[in-house]
Amino acid sequence: MTDARPASFGERLDTVFGRRGHLCVGIDPHPYLLDGWDLPADASGVRSFGLSVVEAVAASPRAGIVKPQVAFFEAYGSAGFAALEDVLAAARAAGLLVIGDAKRGDIGSTNEGYAAAWLTPGSPLEVDALTVTAFTGVDALGPLFDRASEHGKGLFVLSATSNPESRALQTARTDAGASVSRLVAEGVASRNTDRTRLGDFGLVLGATKRLDEYGFTPEAVRALSTTPVLAPGFGFQGAEFTAIPHVFGPLAPDVIVSVSRSILQHGAAGLASAIEADASRVGEVIA
């Protein structure tokens, strides 16, 4: 009897890194971008926008990850979610790795509901990995961790985010002296201890941050060696690709480099060249 267990998310992510690189293209249909693309600010507009991005990334040999920002679809209600379902299905059918940027997270049965919606094969909202928050505690995400492990899915837990408002909360110290950001990171990393390469559970670490200012000692960073990183903050938020080795140190080889508006601003006609240009620059930094 063969083992029917699906390949782990970490294994699939590592394969994408090796074959197509580290660039992740965000699908963020801001209203101003819809206008610039001559698309209506409604569900049909975000659907067309999303499908165009999927098509451009799928055609690129140097990008294999997309990250739809759920909020921009959710803004149009049930029709927006229907549009998102079409975009997610198209991306997965094209063989892309899909990270749902929904930032879900609660407790108990609520997390079971989120897990059923986003991490279950055959669900209309099925993704390969989901962004989640741990404000209720890393262990409260148990149903999401369990469902992800069962179906070869992944999670990216917010730890040190790229927005400037995060600092006071995420650098706050626990009774044991660790920062909240580091406490979350260690809780996530502990679930990857059976991996020799990449685990299924990663962290959102903003590229605009200095990890030492968020309570990460060099030893703490090295302890995250099997933990993938989703790094927003490039482009419009100011981070440069050349800073990746300095910001992430030994974690740099496992960073998903997330870029959205600075690619999307080029419009449908300019997407392919913008993706290739950024993928080339990322490839020079992360060999």
For 234-244, what is the mean pLDDT? 88
Contacts of 38 (CB under 8 A, 6+ apart): none
Extract the tokens encoding 145.
């961790």
At 2 the pLDDT is 46
pLDDT in tens, 214-237: 999 999 999 999 999 999 989 878
pTM, two decimals, is 0.95
CA–CA gap between residue 281 and residue 243 (Å, rounded) = 12
- Confidence label for 4 from pLDDT (cuts 50, 70 and 90): low
Angle, CA of 201, 162 and 255, to the nearest 5°: 40
Report the pLDDT value the prediction gives residue 192, as an integer from 0 to 100.
Answer: 93
Residue 1 has pLDDT above 60, yes or no: no
Proportion of the chain above pLDDT 90, given as a percent? 90
Assess whether 67 carries a catalytic annotation. Answer: no
Residue 53 CB-half CA count within 13 A: 34
Q: How far apart are CA 85 and CA 95, in angstroms?
A: 16
Among the residues of the chain, which ranges form H helices? 9-20, 31-36, 43-59, 70-74, 77-93, 108-118, 142-151, 167-170, 180-189, 218-222, 244-248, 261-264, 267-285
Domains and CATH numbers, the chain: 9-280 (3.20.20.70)
State the pLDDT confidence band at 142, using cuts at 50, 70 and 90. very high
- For residue 172, how many C-alpha atoms fall within 13 Å in the half-sphere facing its CB? 10
Evaluate whether 84 touches 124 at the Cβ level (below 8 Å). Answer: no
pLDDT tens column, 48-82? 999 999 999 999 999 999 999 999 999 999 999 99
Q: Are 63 and 25 in contact (CB under 8 A)?
A: yes
Name the catalytic one among 67, 103, 153, 209: 103
In angstroms, the CA 204 to CA 255 distance is 10
Tokens of 220: 């703490």
The pLDDT value recorded for residue 193 is: 80
The whole-chain average pLDDT of the chain stands at 95
